[in-house]
Structure formats: structure tokens, C-alpha cells
Amino acid sequence: MNEKHKGIFKFGPPHIIVFSFFIVILIGTFLLNLPIASKSGESIGFIDAMFTATSAVCVTGLVVVNTYFHWTLFGKIIILLLIQIGGLGFMSLFTIILVFLGKRITLKGRILIQESFNLATFKGIVMFLKKIIRVTFIIEGIGAVILSLRFVPEYGVKGGIFRGIFHSISAFCNAGFDILGSNSLIPYSTDYIINITIMLLIILGGLGFTVLIDINNYIRYKINKFRKNKTKLFVMSLHSKLALTVTAILILLGMVLTFIIEYNNPKTLANLRFDQKLLVSLFQSVTLRTAGFDAIGQADLNYGSKFLAIILMAIGGSPGGTAGGIKTVTIGVLVLAVISVIRGKDSIIAFKKTISISTIQKSLAIIIMMMTLIFTATIILTMTEKGIGIQFDFIDILYEVSSALGTVGLSTGITSSLSFVGKIVIILCMFIGRLGPITIILALSFRKRSKKNVIHYPEEKVIVG
């Protein structure tokens, strides 16, 4: 085989990332398909086991069977491990294990981790991974302690601690799996301790590891400055500033609109006190950041709230973390581009920094690909789910697809009733949503990234708008 053909079939970082996630899903499918994983003592079936494994590894939370009632302790532990692996990334965990074993991380390994977290450089990648693991376990540990203290009086010591650990990991990884029964967190919708803890875990996990490390460094810088210790000047990155700003705006906007739309809905907020309505509205807005916990029944929402949820789920969380979707920074960049056009500016400025044209191009590519995927998957499901004896509303199908691609995990209740083809479509949506459409396309192309253009053609204006 000549050099030209060798290059075509050479595996690069995108292929390895996709392949590693696929292998973990297959292993999870095998384990969850074992009779020991189901309380009935019977195998759940390959397709349902794969659906659950994909949902766990892709930290989505859509389920075809109730997690609490169907799975044994073995099954629940497998799901929890898949969530943790999916949240941190298999290659990240594998690299950290190699580091602890004293093995040297190759240049290719560093580039692979850089691709996994969309980092600008692979310098200091090992230290970055160590910080990720440390920050993750500290946050999950604190969350587990708080939730355990709340659950122990109700479920006993073992049951309370396990629920605390399970829901802390599930919330921080934005997975949305719960083991509280048939109504998720709805019975605890007015419990301030559980709601605030879960929301903080969701927000921190959805911000992305780069932002979390920036926040950690900023806090340390402020503490040292307050103590008048010598410290280097720390400036938060533009990425972190955009992620924090857009996240705050979306959460506040989602809360206010949900509160207004659902205020008099007897099935959701109407029967709650004013402060409880605010709490539930806030939780609904936060869980749409790709988390997937239910504080109110999604099927009971008004059409306006469902449509709002679809938009927020499609946007998703921030890059470089456990979240899926178009991503907050992507939306932020495009909004800034629109503002610059309105103002007649030639450059796009944010926090006194200029955003490159290549970033705008990538943002546009991501949003167009995600919209195309949502459109395509929705059309397919409207055709495949007609002849199964249950007529789904179009908005419920669109809700399900947006939830899967945004790796949110919220559903209006149609997941378990999907046909075989419908489940395959949602599995693919969850997989693409977790890894990102660009990574999938690069992996499927089996070719190296294109070199920069060396030939420049003359410009010519076209009419738009």
C-alpha cells in the first residue's frame, strides 16, 4: 500500500475518542444485559441494555426502564461507573492511571487529551488532568455528603449514603439518572437542601473543566491578595468569561419565562407558594443545562414551556465538560457577531478581546450541523413511530430529540414506548450529542485535517439578508 493510501486509513485523535466511547458503551451493554443486572433475573435485551449504557456513558439520562425499580445493586453500580467514565472521558481516566503508574505520556497521548477537552494547547496537559480529577472528586464528595445527610433519615444509613453518592455523581456529570422511584425529584421539588445542592452540582459540571480550574485559580488569587501574599496576576480567560456570562443569562431567562408561563398551570406551579414557584422554576431552568432531573412533570408543561425547554436543551452546557448541545460559548460568539453587525463593526469584541473569524466559522458550522441533526432525527421519528399503536405529539418527538442531542435526559414520557428504530435513532443522537458533530464527522472522514489554504481567490460580494 502506497503512502497516499496509508494516510487515508491512519487513525487520529477523533477516531480514538469515538472508538473509546464506543468500546465503553459495548462493555456497559454486555454487563447491563446480564441477568444479574435486572431484578427480574432475566436479561433486559440487547437494544434496551445498549440504550441504557449509551445514555449513561453519554451522560444523558433518557431511560427505557425505571432505574430504581428495574436494576439490581449490580446494575446501578455499573450505571454509576459508566456515568463517571462518560463524564470524565475514558482516555482522561486511562491517562491518569498511566501517570500514577509512573508511565510517560507520549506526544500523541497529549494531543488526544487536547482534542478531548477542546484545549488550545497540549502543554501542561498532565497537570490539567490531575486538577480535573481533584476538582471532580472534591465537588462530588461535598455533594455526596450533603445529599447523604438528607437521605439517611429517610432511607437508612446504607441506602441514604448510596443515594447521596449516586445523585452527586449523576448531577455533577449532568447525567440525570436517579434512583428515587418513578417521579425523579418531583417529590422533593420544594426541598431547598436537595434542590440547591443538585443545582450547584449541575451548574458546576455544566460549566466545563477549563472554567472550573479558572474559577479555582481566581479564588486562590483573591485569597492570596487579601492576605497580602506575593502572587502572580491572574486574568480569567475569555472562554471562561463567556461561559459564565451566557450560562447565567440562560439560567435567569429560563427561570423567569418558566415562572411566567407555568404560573397558573395546576399541574405544575399553580398550587405552590410564591417562593416554591421560584425554586421549581429555577430548578427547571438549571436542569435544562443538560442535567435531566425532573422537578415537575415534563408532560404537564404548557406548549410554551416545552418549546422554551427545547431551545435551552439544544443550546446545552459549556465546552470542555460533561455537557452536550450546541454549547453556551458557541451561542455567545454568534450573538456577539450579530451585535457587531447591528453596530456596523468590522471586528467582534468581547471583554476587550477580539474573537477570530475562524471561531465564528466553527460556531456557525456547529449550530448548522446540530440544527440539521435535530431536523433529520425528528422527521425520522415522526415516520417510524406512527405504526406502533401510540400517537406521539410532534412537540414531544422534537422534545425527545433535542433532549438526546443536548444530552439532557428529560422526556415527556415517550422514551419507553419508542420502536426499535426509534431507540436506535435516539442512541445515535445521544452519542453524537456527547462527542460533538465535528468530532464525529472528522472520525468518519478517515483523513487528516485539511491544511490551511495556500491559494487565495479574489473576493466578490453576494447579497444576503
Q: 10-residue block means of pLDDT along the chain (465 residues)?
A: 46 75 93 96 95 93 93 96 85 66 67 64 72 88 96 94 96 92 87 95 89 86 80 83 94 96 94 94 92 89 94 89 85 92 87 88 90 94 74 89 92 90 94 81 58 68 70
Q: Which residues contact 75 (CB under 8 A, 6 or more apart)?
A: 32, 36, 37, 38
The span from the CA of 51 to the CA of 416, in Å, is 10
pLDDT at 188: 92
pTM score, whole prediction: 0.89
pLDDT at 158: 94
The span from the CA of 419 to the CA of 417, in Å, is 7
Q: Which contacts qualify for 383-388: CB closer than 8 Å, 24 or more apart?
A: 384/419, 384/421, 384/422, 384/425, 385/418, 385/419, 385/422, 388/417, 388/419
pLDDT at 234: 79
pLDDT at 451: 55
